[in-house]
Amino acid sequence: MAVIKTDHLSRVYEDHGVPVKAVDDVSLSIEEGEFTAIVGPSGSGKTTFLNMVGGLDAPSSGTIEVDGKQISQMKQNELIGFRLRHIGFVFQAYNLIPVLTAKENVEFIMLLQKKSKAERDKRATELLDAVGLGDRLGRRPHELSGGQQQRVAVARALASMPSFVLADEPTANLDSTSAENLLDIMERLNKEQKMTFVFSTHDPRVVARAHRVVTLRDGAIESDETRS
């Protein structure tokens, strides 16, 4: 079953009055349980593609289907609610709330979903334990290393029980050991829970782990390789 399907997806920006195609006629289907890397040189359209699939940026043309719903047709309020229930995000910059503890950061999205306190407490604790931070529940972001903060971000992305996780350069700010540890966790979640991950990345360590590698160049698909 396809959790993401794009059809002739394009995004055009204006640069000093000159139209620039950041994403150019991309038709792509990503199945449930895939571990996919979107790669390509800087300016190839990787992040723009992820932002459109995640409902953070609107396409200039084409359609995006997530869990069978056309998100490219949704109004903003509807889209916000849909993202909250269906899509997990992991960003390069962690984006944790500084005044909240690790556990509170993970709970926050469930608070927006109006989950009960008992459910929030249970799931946040389980997720932080799953990413190896069961002993850091009460630490605030400044008390955690970069690798630990990114693991909190992964736990937060999974808290809403999304259909898939979009990870934009998740290892970019991490040292080699932290990056490998993070990828171990994501790969385990993919295998054990069939969680779908879609990465935008330059990192060869991510590419080496991916089961499918889609290469973009000048906004268009150059190659699409599935590995056994």
Residue 46: which CATH number? 3.40.50.300
Residues near 207 by beta carbon (within 8 Å), at least 6 away in sequence: 37, 39, 201, 213
Confirm whether 69 is domain-assigned: no
pLDDT of 155: 92
Confirm whether 25 is domain-assigned: no
Confirm whether 114 is domain-assigned: yes
- Residue that has been written with the tokens 């359209």 in this structure: 45
Q: What average pLDDT does the segment 177-193 reach?
A: 90
Confirm whether 12 is domain-assigned: no
State the greatest distance between any 2 C-alpha atoms of the chain, in Å, as a whole number: 53
Domain count, the chain: 1
Q: Residue 80 belongs to what domain range?
A: 33-60+74-226
pLDDT of 191: 92
How do residues 18-31 score in pLDDT, each as one tens digit? 888 999 999 999 99
DSSP letter at 11 equals E
Confirm whether 11 is domain-assigned: no
Confirm whether 41 is domain-assigned: yes
Confirm whether 202 is domain-assigned: yes
Q: In the predicted model, is pLDDT for residue 228 greater than 80?
A: no
CA distance 224 to 62: 20
Q: For residue 131, what are the CA distances in angstroms to 67, 80, 153, 207?
A: 26, 27, 10, 21
Q: What average pLDDT does the segment 92-115 reach?
A: 92
How do residues 199-220 score in pLDDT, each as one tens digit? 999 999 999 999 999 999 999 9
Confirm whether 177 is domain-assigned: yes
